[in-house]
Amino acid sequence: MKHILAAIATVLALGAMFIVYQSDKEVNKVEEISKMIAKTEVKVQLDTAPTAAQEAAVETMSKAEIEQEQAKKKKELDEKLQALKNKAGNVAAFSVSPLYKQKCSSCHGVNGEGIIGPKLIGLSAEKVYKDLEEFKSGTRKNYVMYGLLSKMDESQMKELSDEIGSFEQKLKEQQQ
Ligand code: HEC
């Protein structure tokens, strides 16, 4: 009789432990799920305030879909930003010579602010001339600059150097 009671007690104890273990797991799951929800909420909030319709849609969206949607929005924003930048890049603060505009501005910017090529504004005329000489002679190797300068005569190089050397001053005058 004692043995049977002991056995029943053991079974009950084991059962209780099992239930506790299970519910612990449930708690963990609930925690995990709420963490996931919190994460997606943060992401959605970052992405400018959603409209009511978007909010309703988000509820039925899977994580992958949400990510896709966000990537799309980011791309749209980036494109708008790029368009603005391009626009800004094309608005000159001061006017430049046709020679600079034609030959140099596409890479160095309308006012030497730099695009593909480095920023030129702020360089002295002497430094620019020295750079151009070096590119032309091949002492400083750059295929693009070499190609451009190989057909350019000294007087044009000098003109451009002097002009670029005056960019910073021109910009300052413009900003006053
Ligand atoms: C197709 C693009 C392109 C065009 C057009 C171009 N450049 Fe460049 N330029 C570059 C690149 C790229 C470099 C960087 C080369 C390097 O550091 O080796 C550079 C470097 C320079 C530098 C050296 C700047 C520094 O701080 O080291 C000067 C000066 C320069 N260019 C002047 C000019 C002038 C003047 C013109 C117009 C005649 C011109 N560039 C046209 C692409 C261009």
**pLDDT (tens digit, 9 = 90+) per residue, 101-154?**
999 999 999 999 999 999 999 999 999 999 999 999 999 999 999 999 998 999
- Cα dihedral 72/73/78/83 (nearest 10): 100
pLDDT at 89 over 60: no
Distance 116 CA to ligand 1 centre (A): 9
94 compared with 1, residue with greater pLDDT:
94
Q: Is 162 left (phi over 0), alpha (psi -120 to 50) or beta?
A: alpha
Compute, in angstroms, the gap from residue 142 CA to the centroid of ligand 1.
Answer: 8
Asked if 122 and 168 touch (Cβ cutoff 8 Å), the reply is yes
pLDDT of 176 higher than 90 = no
Amino acid of residue 45: Q
Is the confidence at residue 28, as pLDDT, over 80? no
pLDDT of residue 66: 81
Residues 152 and 104: beta-carbon distance below 8 Å: no
Q: What phi and psi, each to the nearest 5 degrees, are found at residue 62?
A: -85, 170
Which run of H or of E encompasses 7?
Answer: helix 2-46
Which residue's structure tokens are 């305030």? 49
| pLDDT digits 0-9 by tens, 34-79 | 676 566 655 555 556 667 777 777 677 778 888 888 888 888 887 7
pLDDT tens column, 157-166:
999 999 999 9
pLDDT in the model for residue 25: 67
Q: Whose CA is nearest to atom 9 of ligand 1?
A: 117
Helix axes 167-175, 154-165, angle to 10 degrees: 30
Q: Which of 104, 145, 154 to mutate to test the pocket of ligand 1 (most atoms within 8 A of CB)?
A: 145
Q: What residues does ligand 1 touch, defined as CB less than 6 Å away?
A: 103-104, 106-108, 116-118, 120, 123, 128, 131-132, 142, 144-145, 148, 160
CA of 108 to the centre of ligand 1 (A): 7
